[in-house]
Amino acid sequence: MKQALELLFAVAGGLTLSGIAANFYRILARKPVSRAEKLLYYAVMSVAGPSVLFNNATRSFRGKACSATAYVFAVAVAGYWSFALGLVILSFYMKV
């Protein structure tokens, strides 16, 4: 039971961090033009990716632009990515 709660907490924490990073970037940044801006964009998207992927997949699925299989696959990838980010959060919390 403890492991299941840790798994859910890691996924939820990773998705939360991803959403915060994605929305913060959308508020502050413009479309990347220079090489430095593109590098910053890729660095931010490595954290914000699960939220962006989940939102884009949901929008495509609702608009009938992708199949149910593709949607489930995108949600699974976003969930695993969120889990990995959540593990980073948990490991940082355990060291502090």
Question: Which residue shows structure tokens 């593990």?
Answer: 87
When pLDDT is cut at 50, 70 and 90, the band that residue 67 belongs to is: very high
What's the Cα-to-Cα distance from 5 to each of 10, 11, 87, rounded to whole Å?
8, 10, 13
96 has pLDDT over 90: no
Three-class SS of residue 66?
coil
Q: What is the pTM of this model?
A: 0.86
Any idea where the domains of the chain sit in the sequence? 2-95
Residues 61, 76: Cα–Cα separation, whole Å: 14
* pLDDT digit string, tens, across residues 43-57: 999 999 999 999 999
* pLDDT digit string, tens, across residues 73-88: 999 999 999 999 999 9
- Give the contacts of 32 (CB within 8 A, at least 6 positions apart): 38, 40, 41
